[in-house]
Structure 1
Amino acid sequence: MDDDLVLNVDVGHDTANTARSSHARKGGRWTDRLKAKRVSKRKIRPSDNDVDETPAHAVESRPAKRPRHIPESQKEIRKDSVPSKSTSTQSRAPAQFISSLFTSNPKVEAPVAGGPKGKQTAAPSNAPLADSSTFAGLGLDPLLVTHLSSKMNILKPTSIQKAALPPFLLPSPENVDRDVFIQSQTGSGKTLSFLLPILQDLLPLSTNSYIDRSIGTLAIIIAPTRELAKQIHDVLEALLKLRLRPEEESAADSTPSSARLTRWLVSGLLTGGATRTHEKARIRKGLPIVVATPGRLLDHLQNTSTFNVEKCRWLVLDEADRLMDLGFEETITGIVRGLDGRRNLAKQAVEEGKSTEVGGWDWSRQRRTVLCSATIREDVQKLAGTTLTRPIVIKATEADMPVEGALDAVGAVPTTEKFTPPSQLSQKYVVVPLKLRLVALVALLRFLLSKSSKRPGESKIIVFLSCTDSVDFHWQILGGTAMNESNNEQSDGESDDDDESGDEEAKPRKEKVSLQSPLLPDASIYRLHGSLPTPTRLASLRAFSAVGKGQNVTSSILLCTSVASRGLDLPLVRAVVQYDLPTEGGATEYVHRVGRTARAGKGGEAWSIVSPSEAEWAKWVVTKMHGTTEESENKSIRITPISVENVLRDGFGGKSKEYEDRATEVQLAFERWVLRRKEHGELARKAYLSHMRAYSTHPTNEKHIFHIRHLHLGHLAKSFALRDAPNAVAGKTNKSKNNSASKSKSAPSPSKQAAKIGTQAKPTKWEIDHSGDAEKRMQTAVRAQGRLLKQKGVMMSSGVSEFQIPGGTDLVKLVQGAR
């Protein structure tokens, strides 16, 4: 009875509680009622004491999960990791799982046709002419013709040279002393088109007894970058080594039939980054021909009193479109006004009898300005309207005849010109998932190097990247990665071996010009960007451009930004790889980049690595190069798609899908390098963030293809050998002032973080110095310096216009009067 009573009491107590709880569910918010209804419908799980009393249908069994198969190469765990300052309270960092390269990638449609070994059979469009035309037939001096054929191995003119030389060398009464606008595609020989007429015009002046180096500067050539200025200067130096008398006359030791010429033409190079004192010393001795960058030239015009430019007869603006892109319009305007002002002052002194110069000079001869550009854009037309007088527009046409026409007051020319790459150039693109980008680049470089293994030293490859930080990172990681390391990474500085290897990679590597990689055998890797010191930039270009001479001849790979996309004539460039597509310039910048190969009628390859979200880029850029959608039906310009599987297979080899394992091992080696030292990880994170900032600068009309929200940031971080999530990468670079507050906040979504990646507050000094806008900062510094004058040994503000040079108000009046 008692037991039963107790049992009844217990049951009643449970029933009362159940009734009371069910009665409580009837009130409250509607969410509580819905929750109560779901709980009431849920099946009751049996306890250990009443298993036998539970109905069989009340127990719901769940099938066991199938174990996930993980390859052995993917089971590598980061065991020894040093926690950051924000997680110092934790005992150790959690283990990280290394994602597979070949999973969770977006589906990429296979190309319709074509393979990496396809050939281009189109006839060259920028080759020297195959007809009987010669330099002698164009009116070039026999001394220059002989020098070109015997010393420089140049026998026939290109199409643009044939079109441009006659107006200079054989002027008609209609075009005598008229300015010239030269427009031609890249790699067609524009440099000789203006250097040869300058030399032919200046050589006869040596017959005058008073002509020597002290005559001053007679020709000025302006280039947008230091590398292009150095290249033009090298070509000019090669031309100035010509013999000044015919060989048959000198051998006979007889009186020459022509007037005797003296060696007085000396060239000089004035670029930023060089020592200004040494440049002033050469200017003081006399430089009849000067090759300069705009900022340094304006600096010497304003601050070097011995810079004698009153008799300047030639002014050449090479790569005018690039000059406009870099913001040198005001600087060039100041240079032109300065030259005009100095000439007017000297001419006035001669007329008034105040000149101390001995000898006569033909002051009636006006300065001739030559403007060279591959494109005719609106800003280039504006520059032509302000600097050229009654210009002749010269371009290479199918009939190889110059098209002449006078520009109006604003320099208006037809704007329907199409800027296309050479027809013999083989153009290809590969759609690569983001986290396969790094290994795909290595595979492509290995494939291109293997195609020229029989002729090492004649294989040169240029790789374009988006920013300076990315160039430095890829240069360091390719040269520092080894494939025979252990799979167990060690923390920074915990091993003696790591310390020794780190010491070897720290200071000596920064001083090196080239590196070698075991992944790219028999190849030297160079780098080039605007933040490098000038001696390093010139040394890299010199070593990369060296033709196969000497005993240790290897292939060359140049990692660079767009600073190398204009005007540089690098010999024997077999291929151009655009690892990052241009962020500005669109199709024009693309053609300039690929124009570093297939020059002067030779063959070449252009490869572009495209992400899946950018798959429409190929069709878009072809349409831009053709001009209109209707013309794009023409197959004269075609970019062939290549599958990423073919690139990996040809680069890493192996049977079936063995290339996947090899690519994974390469990726793991890169990630081990990043984890080995703290500096490596910081370099990778800087490169990642700088790439994101550069990617966000695509213009509005390209946002439908290049939008930062289309990128998978985790996969993109893996292409920089990073294992951290994107928000963790950003957090290590830009730490919050209050770590506790930052921990309480939820992590931002990838899309929001991508939108804010380019506007992060308070960048460090290192980020400012390596932000990829070195050229813009250089322009700002040069312009600011142009507004200063030297007073009592100190650069002081003059309070006048940037383009006001010493001479006071008289110069302003003369310039205004000349107008």
Structure 2
Amino acid sequence: MDDDLVLNLVTEVESGSQKHVPGRKGGRWTDRVKANRAAKRKDRPDESRSTEPSHNSIERPTKKARQDFQTKGPADYAERPAGRSSTQIISSLFSSNPKFDQPASTNSVKILGRPSNAPLGDSSTFAGLGLDPLIINHLNSKMNIANPTSIQRAALPALLSNLAEDTSSRDVFIQSQTGSGKTLSFLLPIIQDLLPLSTQSYIDRSIGTLAIIIVPTRELAKQISDVLEALLTLRLRPPDESPDDPSSGPRLTRWLVSGLLTGGATKTHEKARLRKGLPILVATPGRLLDHLQNTASFNVGKCRWLVLDEADRLMELGFEETITGIIKGLDGRRKLAKLAVEEGKSMEVGGWDWEKRRRSVLCSATIREDVQKLAGTTLVHPIVIKATHNEETLKAADPSKPHADVMAEVVAGNMKFTPPSQLAQKFVLVPLKLRLVTLIALLRSLIAQSQGKRTTKVIVFLSCTDSVDFHWNLLGGTTMEDDAENDSESESEGEGAGEADGDNLNSQKSAKANGSKAYEARTPLLPETAIFRLHGSLPLQTRQASLRGFAAVPSGKSASSSTASVLLCTSVASRGLDLPLVRAVIQYDLPTEGGATEYVHRVGRTARAGKGGEAWSFVSPSESDWVNWVQGKMQGDDAQSEKVTLEPIGMDSVLRKGFGGKGSDFEARATEVQLSFERWVLRNSENAEFARKAFLSHVRAYATHPSDEKHLFHVRNLHLGHLAKAFALRDAPSNMKGAGAKAQAKGNKRKDTAQPHRASQPSRGGGKNKDKAEDYDVGDAEKRMEKVVRAQGRLTKQGGKMLSSGTGEFQIAGGYSLERLVNVRT
């Protein structure tokens, strides 16, 4: 076997007769291979071979002498810990990488298109669309919004209540580009519809909930709730009107209050607020259905608006049955409330227009088959609105047609989902074991280019939660100081040293020691940069604190010092989040679900509302065809639409900009950074466990690419030894299952033990397939995956076992168990 196929593999050779080594598995086939190798070495003259080998550590025959680091460079550099025999070989970053043709970088400056999601610069105004002057004044003075965007210009006339009866009673399907102001397109009509009720003396919070907005994630729910609260602080009188003027209009009361219902919050507090009344409510599906079924004081009988935002994401996460239950619950409570009024059992004062039906608004970036199904069961005679449509949209829709026919017409002429035209899209071809140092170099260059600005923010997307946790802890705990003595002691003791040094600081403890917050990490590799993380398995308070910390914009005296923020996250942050000053989005791991649509959603976190931004994608040599594939998926159907292209950037250029130096100095500096990461992993057993779990979870997530993408992403194409290098691991991938099982056995103190893991069993094939993903320990990950899926309520029964029907912690596709996914080979 080639030495470069595995990392740090210690080979034990018995000279002379074959002697069985306890603890080694593989069967008779492995013994024969060892015997053949030993015989060849014995027959081959080698003066440097040791004549008195020890039982525990027998050095391999000396190879051809390597040149010094100073004379040949880091390609053949190997670190030798002090006080130890050279039993570990640290593979080089810049040798034994697959040969591939780097795409030629274009030196010319690419001219980006006109912003496609910016506010319109023409004569379009909110007043011309029929918006209330009080709301217009608040948008101009408090929120600095003067002109509507294209989607707002198209949607507001259809949603405002001052239109003809044939259009105001119809439901609306909104399809728009990311970052185009879709949130205001449904919030403004809701406020304008409920504002006239403020003239009624009997109207107050006790009237109940009149508008419900359903979103897929807690972060998006909090963001919409914040925008809604900012809108509800509007002045209830024009600024030039005196309250004592008898000619002034009717006095408006301030009763519109917004509420938030999300999983992870205290239900007791939510019930108390629902009892007082929340006229406008933003909620996630699971918690909303819970209150509909179990909270008697939840008054939704008069609900007039129902908005389903990010409907395609709601369907991906398996909320179809939950939404169906919500709609049935709303209809049932409306019937009960109406019946109580007719029978005279209601205690409410004043009248109510029970003939006015509830309007539904569905917002989605794409019109896929599952979204069409949801629209068919939720919307009645829908009007489909796109950002490219103008006033002729209403005329094109025939009210006499069934809603299914209208949706079919829309799908037939559906435009592909494209990113903003002003977004600069780039990609870098990176070998697997250079991924980590290339990421650090790219972050350093992006942050350095923003020096002198108020702040800069970068979002990095990873494939799974374990990978997010590992990289966050790694960056927060790595130091570039020379600590050779401590490192050698730690490495020589192995796991025992990690247990004896159990009080070593991890990234959270070191953050506290440096005066940082527990959810914030810092590293000397990225000066003046705060690093945050976000994924679905974090506690709600940590998720909200991380998002607030990343989105914070320094003001006043703190703005004089340039600061930067980096957010490590999974796809939970890919939908709807409007984070200010995001300069770049880095897709360190390409999407495992959603294809080109998920890619566009991720890159849409930057270049919002007409502003510029960059999108970077890390592509391995075996995935190079993905670039042409995703470009073809994003081409618009319109013949006049501009071609969407990803600009190639050379890996050496990224490393040189990030680490600096002359000539090939960046290789030596990148090697030093990699070695500092590896020393952090070796520091204690906790750090090593972070790295192992992240590596294994990444392999499992990689196996979940859909079948139509297997020609681009396949586990067979992964060189697991090189991939382990990207997780700062020096162990061979075949050795990780044993170390992971040992660490889990030590940490598991429960008496009721489960069945033995597959990793502890002998591998089939006599060790021939050591590096295959099927040999890894999946027991702990399977339990954690099912626990997360159960908590989120996305469950279906299949074969008597509870399985995920959507994406979960490991982004597992529906209908597959974790153990089956890691065995995918076709």
Asked if Structure 1 and Structure 2 have the same fold, meaning a TM-score greater than 0.5 normalized by the shorter chain, the answer is yes
**Partner of residue 234 from structure 1, selected from 226, 234, 247:** 226
Cα shift at 1:653:
0.6
Q: How does 1:281-292 map to 2 (within 5 A)?
A: 281-292=272-283
Q: CA RMSD in A?
A: 3.0
Task: Name whichever of 722-731 and 528-537 sits farther off.
Answer: 722-731
How far residue 638 of structure 1 moved from its aligned partner, in angstroms, is 0.6
The answer (yes or no) to whether the contact 2:691–2:727 under 8 Å persists in 1 is yes
Aligned to 1:686: 693
Give the secondary structure class of the aligned counterpart of 1:582.
Answer: coil
| Among 403, 416, 426, the residue aligned to 1:408 | 403
CA contact (8 A) 1:576 1:606 kept: yes
Shift of 1:743: 10
What code does the residue aligned with 1:198 have? I
Identity %: 63
Q: Write the deviation string for residues 597-648 of structure 1: whole angstroms up to 9, x where unpaired.
A: 00011000000001110001110001111268x97x9752110111100000
Distance in 2 between the 1:738 and 1:317 partners? 43
**Residues 6-155 of structure 1 correspond to what in structure 2 (within 5 A)?**
67-71=65-69, 74-78=77-81, 95-114=87-106, 118-155=109-146
Q: Is it true that 1:663 corresponds to 2:654 in the alignment? A: no
Conserved 8 A contact 2:170-2:380: yes
Q: 2:185: which partner in 1?
A: 193
Q: Check the 8 A contact 2:366/2:417 in 1, yes or no.
A: yes
Provide the C-alpha distance between the structure 1 equivalents of 2:762 and 2:313, rounded to a whole number of angstroms: 45
CA distance in 2, matches of 1:737, 1:389: 52
Deviations 1:469-514 (A, max 9, x none): 0000000101111111324523268599966642785597697111
| Conservation of the 8 A alpha-carbon contact between 2:382 and 2:403 | no
Give the equivalent residue in structure 1 for 2:366.
375
Secondary structure of the 2:163 match is coil
1:217-265 Cα deviation digits (max 9, x unpaired): 0000001000000000000000001000111113x74235321110000
Instruction: Work out whether residues 133 and 156 of structure 1, in 8 Å CA contact, stay in contact via their aligned partners in 2.
Output: yes
Residue deviations 1:190-241, cap 9 Å, x none? 1000000000000100111110000000000001000000000000000001
Structure 1 residues without counterparts, runs of 5 or longer? 1-42, 46-63, 82-92, 785-819
Cα distance change, pair 444–400 in 1 and its aligned pair in 2 (3 A): farther
The residue aligned with 1:455 is 453
Secondary structure (helix, strand or coil) at the match of 1:307 reads: coil
The answer for the alignment partner of 1:542 in structure 2 is: 548
Provide the TM-score with structure 1 as the length reference. 0.81
Per mean C-alpha deviation after superposition, the further-off stretch among 652-661 and 351-360 is 351-360
Q: Show CA shifts across 1:118-168 (max 9, x none).
A: 554211111110101111111000000000000000000000000000112
Matching residue of 1:16: none
Alpha carbons 2:499, 2:684 under 8 Å: kept: no
1:270 aligns with 2:277: no
Equivalent AA in structure 1 for residue 657 of structure 2: D
- SS for the counterpart of 1:527 is strand
Is the 1:523–1:555 Cα contact (8 Å) retained in structure 2?
yes
CA distance in 1, matches of 2:729, 2:498: 22
For residues 545 and 252 of structure 2, the distance between their equivalents in structure 1, rounded to whole angstroms, comes to 35
Residues 326, 775 of structure 1: 8 Å contact kept: no
Question: Deviations along 1:634-691, whole A, 9 cap, x unmatched?
Answer: 7521101111000000100100010000000000000000000110000000000000
Contact 2:308 2:362 in 1 (8 A): yes
* Residue in structure 1 matched with residue 652 of structure 2 by the alignment: 645
Which of 299, 307, 310 aligns to 2:301? It is: 310
In 2, are the aligned partners of 1:527 and 1:540 still within 8 Å (CA)? yes
Across the two proteins, how many residue pairs are aligned to each other?
Answer: 702
- Secondary structure at 1:174 match in 2: helix
1:147-226 maps to which residues of 2 (within 5 A)?
A: 147-169=138-160, 170-226=162-218
Higher-Rg member (1/2)? 1
Question: In the alignment, which of 603, 624, 628 is matched to residue 619 of structure 1?
Answer: 628
Native 8 Å contact 1:467 1:561 kept in 2: yes
Give yes or no for contact 2:112–2:421 (8 Å, CA) kept in 1: no
Q: Deviations over 1:418-468 (max 9, x none)?
A: 0000000000000000000000000000011011111142x1100000000
Superposition deviation, residue 112 in structure 1? 2.4
Distance in 1, Cα, partners of 2:657 & 2:666: 9
Among candidates 587, 592, 614, match of residue 583 of structure 1:
592
Equivalent residue letter for 2:535: H
Cα distance between partner residues in 2 of 1:741 and 1:311: 61
Kindly report which structure 2 residues correspond to 1:677-756, keeping only aligned pairs within 5 A, or say none. Answer: 677-734=684-741, 742=762, 746-749=766-769, 753-755=772-774
Quick one: which amino acid aligns to residue 690 of structure 1? S
What CA distance in whole angstroms lies between the structure 1 residues aligned with 2:680 and 2:216? 37
User: Does structure 1 retain, via aligned residues, the 8 Å contact 2:508–2:521?
Assistant: no
Q: Distance in 2 between matches of 1:270 and 1:398?
A: 34
Specify the alignment match of 1:557 in structure 2.
Answer: 566
Residue type of the partner of 1:424?
Q
Answer whether contact 1:159 1:400 (CA < 8 A) is retained.
no
Q: Contact 2:585–2:615 at 8 Å: present in 1 too?
A: yes
Normalising to structure 2: TM-score of the pair?
A: 0.80
Work out the CA distance in 2 between the residues paired with 1:512 and 1:627: 45
- Looking at structure 2, the residues matched to 167 and 328 of structure 1 have their Cα atoms a distance apart, in angstroms, of 27
User: What letter matches 2:655 in structure 1?
Assistant: L
Q: How many Å apart are 1:566 and its aligned residue?
A: 0.3
2:760 and 2:171 mapped to 1: Cα distance? 68
Q: Is the 8 A contact 2:176 2:386 kept in 1?
A: yes
Give 1:422's aligned amino acid: P
CA contact (8 A) 1:125 1:422 kept: yes
Report the CA distance shift for 1:585/1:496 in structure 2 as closer, same or farther (over 3 A).
Answer: closer
Instruction: Give the letter aligned to residue 556 of structure 1.
Output: S
CA contact (8 A) 1:295 1:782 kept: no
